[in-house]
Amino acid sequence: MLFKKLEDKNFSQLIRLGLIAIALGIVPLTACVSFLKSIHQSSQASSPSLAPQNGRTGDRVIKPQFEAAGNFSEGLAVVTINGKKGYIDKTGNIVIKPQFDFAEKFEQGMAAAKIGNQFGYIDKTGKMVVINPPFEQVLQFSEGLAPTSIGGKWGYIDTNRNLVIKPQFSDAQNFSEGLASVRVGNQEGYIDKTGKIVIKPQYKQAYPFKEGRAAVFDNKLKMGFIDTGGNLVIKPQFDGINDGFSQGLAPVAMGSKIPQRWGYIDKTGKFVIQPQFEYASPFSQNEDLAAVTVDKKTGYIDKTGKLVLPPQSHYAGSFEDGVALISRGGKYGYMDKTGKIVIPPQFNEVRDRGGFSEGLIAVEIGGKYGYMDKTGKTVIQPQFDAAGSFQEGLAPVRIGSQWGYISR
């Protein structure tokens, strides 16, 4: 709504009083009109508006018109029109016409796309290089390579979409620290970037390397750790792992039945924080705190195992830039490292639990989405039926059934 309606009760009463004053000759017509005009302008200035006002409501730079819309990447975004996917630029112009049944964001000048049974990659002109035989699945790139399946077998492509490791594995994971976990038959091992098997398949399950260690499960479903040379440096004895090593410690579980008990080990396998928690998360990369669960509530410990922030949240995420997402009473908010609530729990949902993007995060209040900064200030008022994260200065938002884009 751009203007406050004149049916406002108080304003209507002022009009009636003004007309009476004019009729009785108490107030000149020009003075009365001037006064009422100033009152109306004042009410307009203080009333809510969906029109852009210094970004507080989100400048709609691309009007809602798409069936679906993705984030911008390398200046282009995937949109859906009449069931087909194409690409627009930041002005909203269609630069690659909607024609694809499947399309991904651009990375390093190329994007995966599919028309019918033809799967391949397009450049920013829309020219398509068809891959034969077609890829059935392609995972994300990591360290310059991406796992891909052809004919039920997995291999790897490089960023130029060349098949550099031929499909031969039953399963394949992303590269990490120069090695990737692959499955041969029903056993898993590791290959290097030439496709050579450097750690023979011998494990029930093999995880990515982190800080020179990878978790592996033996055939008895006990977990230990190997180094990049394939040496078993921590014998299989644990029953669970959450992600891997971070800041020299790894959260591991003891006990094959629920409830398990979680603690933290160092790279020799020694428990530096004894198993005592219902659940444990890795230490944040840039923060010396980790989320743990005690009596179904989550708090934070330091690297000595001391509870520095008592368990009182139903959910608590990792700290990023000094703040962490928490949930209390069914609502989401943010807390800093001292335990101070910087954004009170008030949101029914947070768009991206991974954290803020370009300083903002989409939050839902009363069935509508808006955006908030890290101080808790509402930068863009809740008004959208759905909202994505900001990327390259723009965010996709939905009004009714149509998607468009707003700027900050």
Which of these, 283, 325, 279, 335, lies nearest to 304 by C-alpha position?
283
The CATH code that applies to domain 239-347 is 2.130.10.10
Band of pLDDT at residue 18, cut at 50, 70 and 90: very low
CA dihedral 100, 101, 107, 110 (to 10 degrees): -40
| Interatomic CA distance for residues 21 and 9, integer angstroms | 19
Percentage of the chain lying above the pLDDT 90 cut: 62
Q: For 76-99, what is each residue's pLDDT tens digit?
A: 999 999 999 999 999 999 999 999
- Report the pLDDT value the prediction gives residue 321, as an integer from 0 to 100: 76
Task: Find the mean pLDDT for residues 148-162.
Answer: 90
Query: Which pTM does this prediction carry?
Result: 0.74
Strand 205-206 and strand 77-81: the pairing is unpaired
CA dihedral 11, 12, 18, 19 (to 10 degrees): 160
CA dihedral 42, 47, 50, 53 (to 10 degrees): 50
**Low-confidence winner among 185-189, 198-202, 273-277, 342-346 (lowest mean pLDDT):** 342-346
Q: Return all residues near 21 (Cβ < 8 A) that are at least 6 apart.
A: 27, 32
Tokens of 98: 């909607």
Domain ranges of the chain: 239-347
Q: For 229-266, what is each residue's pLDDT tens digit?
A: 999 999 999 999 998 999 999 999 999 888 899 999 99
Query: In one letter, which amino acid is 13?
Result: Q
- Report the pLDDT value the prediction gives residue 39, as an integer from 0 to 100: 37
Q: For 107-134, what is each residue's pLDDT tens digit?
A: 878 888 989 878 888 899 999 877 777 7
Q: For 24-58, what is each residue's pLDDT tens digit?
A: 343 444 444 343 344 333 333 333 333 333 345 56
Task: Report the largest interatomic distance among the alpha carbons of the chain, rounded to a whole angstrom.
Answer: 102
Question: Residue 83 belongs to what H/E stretch?
Answer: none
Which of these, 37, 111, 113, lies nearest to 74 by C-alpha position?
111
Say yes or no to pLDDT of 10 above 70.
Answer: no
Question: Could you tell me the end-to-end alpha-carbon distance of the chain, in angstroms, rounded to an integer?
Answer: 20
Q: For 184-206, what is each residue's pLDDT tens digit?
A: 999 999 999 999 999 999 999 99
Q: What's the chain's average pLDDT? A: 85
Band of pLDDT at residue 355, cut at 50, 70 and 90: confident
